[in-house]
Structure 1
Amino acid sequence: MRHLFSRPAWAGIIILALIAALLPVLHLLFPAGHALHVSAYVIGIVAKFMCYALAAMALDLVWGYTGILSLGHGVFFALGAYAHGMYLMRAIGRDGVYQSDLPDFMVFLDWKTYPWYWSLTDHFWYCMALVVLVPGVLAFIFGYFAFRSRIKGVYFSIITQAMTFAFMLLFFRNNTGFGGNNGFTDFKRILGFSITAPGTKAVLYLTTLVILLAALFLCRWIVQSKLGRVLQAVRDSESRLMFIGYDPLWFKLFIWTLSAVLCGIAGALYVPQVGIINPSEMSPGNSIEMVIWAAVGGRGTLLGPIIGAFTVNGLKSWFTAAFPDLWLYALGLLFILVTLFMQQGILGLAGKFRKRGEAA
């Protein structure tokens, strides 16, 4: 694994991390209209892309390094977001439209009290524990029965897509207590601070950056360890790995659960910065987009999914503003082109150009 990472890659990581960390500082220090001012829009969209990058890197652990193609990671992302969103809804207090201790959607539906699973959600750290435990426990249970039954390949991809679709339908129902079609929105505070204040936004942004970098280093350590070599053996020849005495079940289950937890953390970072979470985040299409991010950037590289998440979502932001009806066609064309001509993604293409330059 000498290519993970090369000296130019380390230099790029450090430079980009410093630039990213500088953006909220410029936003706070310089007033609007100043040449060095960074707008709140830029801060918000970069923060959102970093959340997507964390989710894409989590998917790369199971797809790029273990050969498990998941089309259901959107449900882990959304569950982490909902777990944090429950705290944010409780933090609104009586500042809602109906000035009730209950969230507005519960008042509208004539709920009289919180359901039992909302207990203790007014405590921040309890909800942070839920962010980790809910996606993690779901992934562990789902993965245990799937991997023990030796479900793999396209069959595993189909059942993960069925899982996220089932959860989406469940959360669309008003009687589940999660806001139905509208989900959670209109957040006011986090840990007592106004969620829309520039300082709060800057802290959330920097927290996302730090966690993204920490997750990158954690994933790098895993894939370069003995565990990582076993995971890649699962990807390349699971039957041969079993022949030499390894049981792939627990290796696959560990990395699958860790990937789900990282995705849940990405969702938890996403919701206070975007300001809304609803069941559409669980749609199968969102999970497929995560796969596209990893493929475009270069799966099995860790950095590739991060690049892919920024690239694809940057194109999406531009297309949906300039040509809103053409984005899905452009996304499909992009995936086809990557599949046919750039199977190693953007990083693979850059590597080819570098080798040609060295040869010349």
Structure 2
Amino acid sequence: MTATLEKPPVTEAPVKEPRDWRGPALFALVAVIGLVVMPLVLEPFRLGLLAKYLTYAIVALGIGLAWGQGGMLTLGQGVFFGLGGYAMGMHLKLNDAGDGLPDFMVWSGVETLPALWEPFRNPVFAIAMVVVVPGAVAWLLGTLVFRQRVRGAYFAILTQALAAAMVILLVGQQGLTGGTNGLTNFFEFFGQDVAADSTQRGLYFTVAIVLGILFIAAWQLQRSRFGRLLLAVRDGEDRVRFLGYNPATVKTITFTLSAVMAGIAGALFVPVVGIISPALLGVVPSLELVVAVAVGGRFALAGAVLGAVLMGYAKTYFSEELPDAWLYLQGALFILVIGLAPKGIIGFLRRKDVAA
């Protein structure tokens, strides 16, 4: 009897799917338009407005990461925006005052510089606080809240209450924070005249580049293993817990990252617009940013950015052309978009692409 050797079955190599270059190509196109075309076609005033919209887009990017990817409806991002803005504003006011006191402290009868303000003379310390303070507050809040499994509407109300409390605190400390007026009348930004067209142009490029870097970082995070785990937490938190992961840690990290983005946006907003006040970080501004993310499409990071820029432009356009009715028109725009596209503009475009 002779043994026969059977040939091993021939297995075909897996076919590697071609990479979809539409996303990177679109990002490159938007980068060229933002960094090359817009500075050439827009006058300095309009370019400054666009820079302001892009700071809002940075906050919206963090909201898209926390809400769209993680399911955490945060209605208090204005708190972290304000913390970053006040950190930068404090440094600029001290730089303008030199050896004296900031102007609002003189008007308020303050005789010596508060100890809290002194370290902000150092620009390195001020920039570090732009990131550290919002991140630390968000980490502490997330650690306390998510471990207690607070989520959904309860978490949204809690963050909204935090924004309201922040406004009350700032308004009540006239000699320390400038009260209702906040911090304004900045003259220099790291040695440059903040009102000069060249400085504002440089600030625009800075904001646009920072937005691009943060967008790439958030996009990579979304595609990583952590990003997939974040989506799993959003869609089935209890199931993730049963699989051995800790959803509280995942949500706390994401919430902290979104807060850091808001703090960076606030710091850039201050020299671009020239003011930071409680009116810019309360409940209403926080809600407007969430609405902008919903309009653009909260399930896509690009949608969050698009919504923030679109709503910022709409607010400016309607207030200039129809000052008596611009709030109604802005609300109508929101209702129209959500009514026709519940998943936002990006969700509507994706549905059309799939249908085609």
TM-score by length of 2: 0.91
Matching residue of 2:23: 9
The match for 1:310 is 309
Q: Give the aligned residue type for 1:76.
A: F
Query: 1:93 corresponds to which residue?
Result: 97
Q: Which runs of 5+ in 2 are unaligned?
A: 1-18
Counterpart of 2:108, as a letter, is L
**1:23 to 1:105, Cα distance in 2 relative to 1, 3 A:** farther
Which position in structure 2 is the counterpart of 1:189? 188
> 1:92 aligns to what SS in structure 2?
helix
Letter of the 1:13 counterpart: F
In structure 2, the partner of 1:42 is 46
Cα deviations by residue, 1:15-38 (Å, 9 ceiling, x for unpaired)? 221122125753xxxxxxxxxx63
Mapped to 1, the partners of 2:20 and 2:277 lie a distance apart of 40
Q: Percent identity?
A: 39
The CA distance in 1 between the partners of 2:61 and 2:112, in whole Å, is: 39
Residue 52 of structure 1 is matched in structure 2 by: 56
SS in 2 for 1:317: helix
Call closer, same or farther: CA 1:25–1:344 in 2, change over 3 Å: closer
Residues 23-34 of structure 1: pairs in structure 2 closer than 5 A: 26=40
Q: For residue 129 of structure 2, what is the amino acid of its counterpart? A: L
Paired with 1:158 and 1:264, the residues of 2 have a C-alpha distance of 21
CA distance in structure 1 between the partners assigned to 2:87 and 2:128 by the alignment: 9
**Is residue 24–residue 205 contact of structure 1 (8 Å, CA) maintained in 2?**
no
Give the conservation status (yes or no) of the 8 Å contact 1:170–1:176.
Answer: no
Equivalent residue letter for 1:187 = F
| CA 1:175–1:198: 2 relative to 1, 3 Å | closer
Q: Distance in 2 between matches of 1:330 and 1:251?
A: 39
Whether the 8 Å CA contact 1:70–1:157 is kept in 2: the answer is yes
| Distance in 1 separating the partners of 2:351 and 2:229 | 28
CA contact (8 A) 2:78 2:281 kept: yes
Kept in 2, the 8 Å contact 1:84–1:271? The answer is yes
Contact 1:24/1:202, CA 8 A, preserved across alignment: no
1:264-318 C-alpha deviation (Å, 9 max, x unpaired): 0011111101001100012101111111111111112100011101111111111
Provide the C-alpha distance between the structure 2 equivalents of 1:311 and 1:208, rounded to a whole number of angstroms. 17
- Taking a change above 3 Å as real, the CA distance of residues 25 and 298 of structure 1, as seen in their structure-2 partners, is closer
Alignment of 1:154-165 (within 5 A): 154-165=153-164
- Could you tell me how far apart the structure 2 residues matched to 1:176 and 1:132 are? 25
User: What SS does the aligned partner of 1:117 have?
Assistant: coil
CA distance in 1, matches of 2:206, 2:349: 30
**CA spacing shift, 1:53–1:6, aligned 2, 3 Å:** farther
Is the contact between residue 87 and residue 123 of structure 1 (CA under 8 Å) also seen in structure 2? Answer: yes
Partner of 1:80: 84
CA positional deviation for 1:131: 0.3
* Matched-pair contact (CA < 8 Å) for 1:298–1:305: yes
The residue number in structure 2 matching 1:97 is: none
Letter in structure 2 aligned against 1:166: A
Which residue in 1 is equivalent to 2:146? 147
What amino acid is aligned across from residue 152 of structure 2 in structure 1?
G
- Counterpart for residue 333 of structure 2: 334
Counterpart of 2:67? 63
The residue that corresponds to 1:226 in the other structure is 225
Deviation, 1:6, is 5.0
Q: Tell me the distance in 1 between the aligned counterparts of 2:336 and 2:34.
A: 30
* Equivalent AA in structure 1 for residue 213 of structure 2: A
Q: Does structure 1 retain, via aligned residues, the 8 Å contact 2:192–2:199? A: yes
Aligned partners of 2:228, 2:176: CA distance in 1, in Å? 43
Q: Please tell me whether the aligned partners of residues 56 and 305 of structure 1 are also in contact (alpha carbons under 8 angstroms).
A: yes
Report deviation, 1:262.
Answer: 0.6
1:11 deviates by 2.2
What are structure 1's unaligned runs of at least 5 residues? 27-36, 95-99
Deviation digits for residues 89-112 of structure 1, max 9, x if unmatched? Answer: 011125xxxxx7101110011101
Alignment-derived partner of residue 31 in structure 1: none
Equivalent position of 2:6 in the other structure:
none
1:77·1:264 contact (CA, 8 Å) conserved in 2?
yes
Work out which of the two has the higher radius of gyration on C-alpha atoms and give 1 or 2: 2
The one-letter code of the counterpart of 1:48 is: K
CA gap 1:174/1:246 in 2 versus in 1, 3 angstroms: closer
1:208 & 1:89 partners in 2: Cα distance?
Answer: 21
Question: What SS class does the counterpart of residue 121 from structure 1 fall into?
Answer: helix
Give the alignment of 1:204-353 within 5 angstroms.
204-353=203-352
Residue of structure 2 equivalent to 1:21 = 35
Structure 1: which 4+ aligned runs deviate by more than 6 Å? Answer: none
1:172-205 CA distances to partner (integer Å, 9 max, x unpaired)?
1244601101111110111111112222222211
Cα root mean square deviation, aligned: 1.7
